């Protein structure tokens, strides 16, 4: 049985087979001996004293024979002629460590070997080392950190660098003998090589290896594949892989759609062009420069030069002045290069017709552009896309400005009204804008339209004007299910569950999924979980889908009922990534980070949504280092970050002061072209501010042409915490001059700036402005004002404010006033403040007692100070000792 044991051990070293069916009866003295190669195969020293016997194993058992053949195949016994000296030296040191000293070599040797590869022979030595390391690792049952996706990525990168593509493909083999774990990032290096050398065959081979390894397709993969197909003029291959990417649910990048549309326009395939544009509009609401010009080419192919001119005019209006040169270059390509490409891709009989058409249509488009002021022919679809884009990016005011500008030029489409009404609902409390649109819809006779009427009801409901919403509803001559859903949602959103329930029962026949969801979500917001569950159970079975299940799960999660949520979760028949992310975020919401992490690792098929939930949860719960680690792990698994990812990671960097990681993320945003929405821009400014880099924070802020309120708040806070009180006040006044309404965060940031600068009068003025702006002050705002009054010696005014403030003062407020009493040596006022503290039963009372004891000592009331110390000892209170720390670098 010793032979059987050694044969199985050899199998573990050479290949992790599922089962070795070797029997000692098959081992004899026959002459079919497997001759082992040199040290490039198996190290004999792994089995001291037994290898002579093992070397005489005969391959009479099918499994043993297969094992031996694999050993021979993987031995790489070819002669290597020209390795560099550095690689040869490292190769010898590593093999000596593994085969002679029987110890794992330092990681640095392997990484150095990878970096020093300069030709294909060097790479051959590298793969020999990897194979020997894997044998050593398996024979000693050791798992080493190097054998992971990151190692495979670096090896593939090295192969591409020296042109050893065959070795690079071997790194992606499934169950390879080199201990490499294939990853999407490794494949991207080979695809980049294929793109550079226009090698469609290599791309096809790499994609097949990805499929064999069951690796998920990523947006970056699609981008590379589409570019290779475009550059090699292989439309059939692009059509094949586009179906695979869409079927896999990969969200294609804007640049990928640009390449796809440009290729379709170059071939003159308008049907494919509009199909791609329709698919793009489901993910993105705004065209890029390249995409817009592809649409213009499509209109030209359909003999619609005026529509093509309108598309170019719209993109001109939306494009910043500093980038006009790129727009001009794209226009020149359309006029000069594109017609040649089109004609080249046509059949012989079609070439003359296409050439004649473009010869007349392109000048017509140019003339339309020159005379666009007189006869503007804007396409409704393209303007709608611009409006949608502003709303989705959190800039409803810009959507309203765009609409006003187009209306001023005499252009009107009824289909825009629902979109603009949605923008009005976002700009609360600007319901008067919605009323103006309401009157305009009456003027143009479109108010009776079901879609417009439903949008009006939804707008009034979201703005809190339920009476106006009901009036529109009652006056509508025709209603559909969207109309009923809008009025029910309006009532539920404003807390009138009785009226919503009455309407819900009234339309029992034409209810759809949205109707049930509006009611369930409404009960959830009112914390009436039992009613929500009862309604869910009443829902017809055919209307129940993953969305309705997730809405009910969201009711439990939103009300922090995680035990009930888990029971409900187990009953959900189909669990998608959104359902899993709801559970993970629910645990994070109640502060159970451990259970949230455990739930994350229960997910078998993770996607970007799941990773974003984990990273955001870590950041929001103060686990900044874990958030940053998760960010790197996510990329290691081949997932590319989006706007949600980077905003959460930047928040984690701000918490932990990781300026280096923050700068790296900023560079990634620019490199990957991640959209700088208000959340990302705000996170960037906040990160630089909290990490002490005021210069970069200011630079980022000034680079944004459209600044949201959140950006202004972050910049004002940044100036405040850096002691730039005067600049913060100036920025606040500038923001007000732009007609941006400040919120409670804005006022808090400005008050903090006044505290740091000692601007008492400005602080009082800012505080009084909160009432005129209809912003209710909270305890933090009162705390800033009390701090200001205390620092200025106005202790009586500060004390009066504490007594009269509508909210209960916390430890911070009372501590600020007590500190001011100590600075101004007012023991009488300190005693009165202490009475408030003892009456309120604040948790920080021992520190406050210590402060007042120090005040007595400072004013040389030694007996009173001593008596207070004794009283503190009787209560079992101890003064917390002062501690300091020094970081040694």
Cβ neighbors of 684 (< 8 A, separation 6 or more) are 650, 666, 669, 676, 697, 700
| pLDDT given at position 651 | 92
CB burial class (10 A; 0-12, 13-18, 19+) of residue 151?
A: buried
Helix (H, G, I), strand (E, B) or coil at 825: coil
Length of the chain in terms of residues written: 889
pLDDT tens column, 719-754: 888 888 888 899 898 888 877 788 888 999 899 888
377-390 pLDDT per residue, tens: 444 555 565 566 55
Task: Answer whether 85-370 and 606-706 agree in fold.
Answer: yes
Q: How confident is the model at residue 66 (pLDDT cuts 50, 70, 90)?
A: very low
Other CB atoms within a 10 A radius of the CB of residue 32 amount to 9
Which range has highest mean pLDDT (253-257, 328-332, 408-412, 855-859)? Answer: 253-257
Quick one: pLDDT at residue 403?
A: 64
Give the model's confidence band at 612: pLDDT under 50 very low, under 70 low, under 90 confident, else very high.
very high
Instruction: Tell me the two tokens of residue 835.
Output: 């009475």
Give the model's pLDDT for residue 406.
61
- Mean pLDDT confidence for 48-62: 40
pTM: 0.53
- Say if residue 653's pLDDT is above 90: yes
Lowest-confidence range among 591-595, 599-603, 885-889? 885-889
Please give the Cα distance from 784 to 691 (Å, whole number).
23
The highest-confidence range among 388-392, 490-494, 586-590, 676-680, by mean pLDDT, is 586-590
- Which residue, 365, 352, 418, is CA-closest to 387? 418
Which two tokens mark 214?
Answer: 């069951």
The average confidence (pLDDT) of the chain is 74
Domain regions of the chain by residue span: 2-73, 85-370, 379-507, 606-706, 778-874
pLDDT-derived band at 645 (thresholds 50, 70, 90) equals very high
What DSSP assignment string belongs to 569-606?
HHH-SS--HHHHHHHHHHHHHTT-HHHHHHHHHH-SS-
Q: Is the pLDDT score of 613 beyond 90?
A: yes
- Count the neighbouring beta carbons within 10 Å of the beta carbon of residue 28: 10
- Mean per-residue pLDDT for 346-373? 60
Phi, psi of 534 (to 5 degrees): -60, -40
Signed CA dihedral, 706, 708, 709, 714: sign only: negative
Confidence label for 587 from pLDDT (cuts 50, 70 and 90): very high
- In this predicted structure, the answer to whether residue 486 has a pLDDT above a threshold of 60 is yes
Model pLDDT, residue 354: 63
DSSP H stretches of helix in 163-288: 165-171, 184-196, 200-212, 219-231, 235-247, 254-267, 270-281
648-667 burial, b if ≥16 CB within 10 A, otherwise e?
bbbbbbbbbebbebbbebbe
Q: Which pLDDT does position 49 carry in this prediction?
A: 40
Helices (H), 409-545: 416-426, 431-443, 450-462, 466-475, 481-493, 497-506, 513-525, 529-538
Q: Which residues of 55-93 are buried (b: 16+ CB within 10 A; e: fewer)?
A: eebbbebebbbebbeebeebbbeeebeebeeebbebbeb
Question: What percent of the chain clears pLDDT 70, i.e. is strictly above it?
Answer: 67
Mean pLDDT throughout 271-276? Answer: 81
pLDDT per residue as tens digits for the range 88-136: 888 888 888 888 888 888 878 888 888 888 888 888 888 888 888 877 7
pLDDT digits (tens, 9 = 90+) for 141-178: 444 443 455 788 888 888 988 888 888 888 888 777 77
CATH class of 606-706: mainly alpha
Average the pLDDT over 587-607 and give the result: 90
Tell me the per-residue pLDDT of 504-556, one tens digit each, with 9 for 90 and over: 888 766 788 888 888 888 888 888 888 889 888 888 888 888 888 988 998 99
Interatomic CA distance for residues 401 and 421, integer angstroms = 13
What is the structure's pLDDT at 629? 92
Task: Classify domain 379-507 by CATH architecture.
Answer: Alpha Horseshoe (1.25)
Q: pLDDT-based confidence at 639, cuts 50/70/90?
A: confident
Measured distance CA(241)–CA(322) in Å, rounded: 37
Residues 822-839, mean pLDDT to the nearest whole number: 69
Of 93-102, 658-667, 703-712, 726-735, the poorest mean pLDDT is in: 703-712
**To the nearest whole percent, how much of the chain has pLDDT over 90?**
10
pLDDT digits (tens, 9 = 90+) for 503-514: 888 876 678 888
Contact assessment for residue 802 and residue 773, using Cβ atoms and an 8 Å cutoff:
no
Kindly state the average pLDDT of the residues 752-781: 86
**Amino acid 26: pLDDT:** 34
Locus of tokens 């949602």: 489
Whether 431 has a pLDDT exceeding 50, the answer reads: yes
The pLDDT of residue 29 is above 50: no
pLDDT at 231 over 80: yes
Give the confidence band of 839 by pLDDT, cuts at 50, 70, 90: low
pLDDT digits (tens, 9 = 90+) for 316-338: 666 666 666 676 777 767 766 67
Res 349 pLDDT > 80: no
pLDDT value, residue 5: 45
Contact criterion met (CB below 8 Å) for 335 and 404? no
Please report the pLDDT score of residue 4 as a whole number.
42
- Is residue 104 classed exposed, middle or buried when 0-12, 13-18 and 19+ CB atoms within 10 A define those classes? middle
Cα separation, 889 vs 887, in Å, equals 6
Banded pLDDT at 500 (limits 50, 70, 90): confident
Check: CATH 1.25.40 for 85-370? yes
The whole-number pLDDT of residue 703 equals: 77
- Burial pattern 155-184, b for ≥16 Cβ within 10 A else e, equals bbbbbbbbebbebbbbbbeeebbbbbbbbb
CA-to-CA dists, residue 435 to 136, 388, 468, 496, 560, angstroms: 77, 20, 10, 23, 39
Whether the per-residue pLDDT at 678 is higher than 70: the answer is yes
Residue 27 reports pLDDT greater than 50: no
Higher per-residue confidence, 140 vs 831 = 831
- 578 contacts: CB under 8 Å, gap ≥ 6: 546, 550, 609
Q: What is the pLDDT of residue 148?
A: 56
Tokens (6 digits) for 30: 């026959």
Stretch 24-48: mean pLDDT:
35
- Assign 3-state DSSP to the chain and report helix, strand, coil percentages, each to 5: 70, 0, 30
Among 77-91, 173-187, 504-518, 866-880, the minimum mean pLDDT is found in: 866-880
CA quadruple 763, 764, 765, 771: dihedral positive or negative?
positive
Reported confidence tier of residue 647, pLDDT bands at 50, 70, 90: very high
């Amino acid at each position: 049985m010793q032979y059987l044991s050694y044969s199985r051990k050899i199998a573990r070293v050479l290949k992790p087979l599922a089962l070795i069916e070797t029997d000692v009866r098959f081992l004899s003295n026959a002459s079919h001996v497997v001759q082992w190669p040199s040290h490039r195969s198996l190290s004999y020293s792994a089995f001291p004293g037994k290898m002579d016997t093992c070397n005489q194993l005969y391959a009479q058992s099918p499994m043993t024979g297969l094992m031996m053949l694999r050993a021979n195949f993987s031995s790489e016994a070819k002669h290597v002629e020209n390795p560099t000296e550095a690689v040869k030296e490292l190769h010898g040191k590593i093999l000596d460590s593994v085969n002679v000293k029987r110890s794992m070599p330092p990681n640095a040797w392997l990484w150095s070997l990878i970096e020093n590869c300069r030709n294909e022979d060097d790479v051959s030595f590298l793969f020999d080392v990897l194979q020997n390391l894997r044998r050593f690792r398996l024979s000693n049952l050791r798992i080493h950190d190097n054998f992971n996706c990151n190692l495979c990525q670096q090896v593939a990168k090295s192969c591409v660098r020296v042109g050893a593509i065959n070795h690079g493909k071997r790194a992606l083999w499934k169950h390879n003998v080199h201990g490499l774990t294939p990853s999407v990032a490794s494949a991207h290096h080979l695809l980049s090589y294929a793109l550079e050398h226009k090698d469609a065959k290599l791309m096809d081979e790499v994609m097949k290896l990805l499929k064999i390894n069951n690796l998920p397709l990523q947006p970056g993969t699609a981008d590379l594949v589409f570019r290779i197909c475009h550059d090699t003029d292989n439309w059939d291959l692009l059509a094949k892989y586009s179906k695979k990417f869409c079927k896999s649910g990969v969200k294609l990048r804007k640049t990928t759609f640009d390449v796809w549309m440009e290729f379709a326009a170059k071939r003159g395939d308008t049907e494919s062009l509009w199909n791609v544009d329709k698919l793009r509009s489901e993910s993105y609401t705004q065209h890029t420069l390249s995409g817009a010009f592809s649409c213009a080419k499509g209109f030209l192919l359909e003999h619609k030069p005026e529509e093509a001119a309108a598309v170019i005019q719209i993109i001109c209006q939306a494009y910043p002045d500093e980038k006009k040169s790129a727009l001009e270059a794209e226009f020149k390509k359309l006029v000069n290069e594109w017609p040649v490409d089109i004609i080249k891709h046509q059949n012989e009989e079609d070439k003359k017709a296409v050439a004649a058409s473009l010869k007349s249509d392109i000048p017509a488009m140019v003339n339309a552009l020159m005379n666009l002021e007189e006869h503007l022919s804007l396409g409704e679809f393209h303007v709608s896309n611009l409006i949608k884009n502003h709303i989705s990016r959190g800039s409803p005011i810009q959507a309203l400005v765009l609409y006003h500008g187009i209306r001023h030029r005499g252009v009107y489409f009824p289909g825009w009204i629902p979109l603009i009404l949605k923008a009005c609902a976002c700009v609360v409390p600007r319901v008067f804008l919605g009323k103006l649109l309401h009157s305009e819809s009456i003027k143009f006779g479109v108010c009776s339209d079901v879609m417009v009427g439903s949008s009006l009801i939804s707008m009034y409901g979201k703005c809190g004007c339920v009476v106006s919403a009901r009036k529109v509803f009652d006056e509508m001559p025709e209603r559909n299910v969207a109309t009923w859903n809008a009025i029910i949602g309006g009532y539920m959103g404003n807390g009138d569950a009785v009226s919503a329930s009455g309407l819900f029962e009234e339309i029992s026949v034409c209810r759809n999924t949205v109707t049930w969801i509006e009611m369930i979500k409404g009960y959830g917001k009112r914390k009436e979980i039992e009613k929500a569950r009862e309604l869910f159970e009443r829902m017809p079975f055919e209307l129940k889908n993953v969305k309705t299940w997730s809405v009910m799960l969201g009711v439990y999660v939103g009300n922090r009922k995680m035990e009930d949520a888990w029971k409900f979760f187990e009953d959900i028949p189909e669990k998608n990534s959104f359902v899993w992310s709801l559970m993970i975020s629910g645990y994070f919401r109640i502060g159970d980070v451990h259970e949230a992490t455990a739930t994350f690792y229960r997910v078998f098929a993770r996607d970007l949504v799941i990773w974003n939930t984990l990273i955001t949860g870590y950041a929001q719960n103060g686990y900044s280092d874990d958030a940053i680690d998760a960010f790197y792990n996510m990329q290691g698994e081949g997932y590319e970050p989006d706007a949600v990812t980077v905003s959460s990671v930047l928040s984690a960097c701000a918490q932990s002061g990781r300026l280096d990681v923050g700068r790296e993320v900023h560079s990634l945003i620019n490199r990957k072209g991640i959209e700088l929405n208000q959340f990302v821009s705000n996170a960037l400014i906040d990160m630089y501010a909290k990490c002490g880099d005021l210069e970069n924070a200011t630079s980022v802020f000034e680079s944004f042409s459209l600044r949201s309120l959140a950006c202004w708040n972050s910049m004002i806070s940044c100036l405040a915490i850096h002691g730039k009180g005067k600049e913060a006040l100036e920025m606040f006044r500038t923001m007000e001059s732009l007609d941006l309404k400040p919120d409670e965060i804005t006022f808090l940031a400005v008050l903090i700036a006044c505290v740091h600068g000692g601007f008492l009068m400005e602080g009082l003025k800012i505080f009084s402005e909160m009432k005129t702006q209809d912003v209710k002050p909270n305890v933090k705002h009162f705390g800033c004002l009390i701090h200001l009054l205390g620092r200025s010696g106005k202790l009586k005014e500060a004390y009066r404010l504490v007594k009269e403030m509508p909210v209960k003062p916390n430890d911070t407020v009372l501590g600020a006033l007590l500190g001011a009493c100590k600075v101004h040596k007012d023991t009488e006022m300190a005693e009165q403040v202490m009475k408030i503290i003892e009456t309120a039963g604040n948790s920080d009372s021992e520190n406050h007692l210590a402060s007042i004891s120090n005040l007595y000592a400072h004013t040389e009331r030694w007996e009173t100070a001593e008596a207070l110390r004794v009283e503190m000892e009787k209560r079992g209170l101890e003064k917390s000792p002062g501690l300091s720390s020094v970081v040694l670098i």
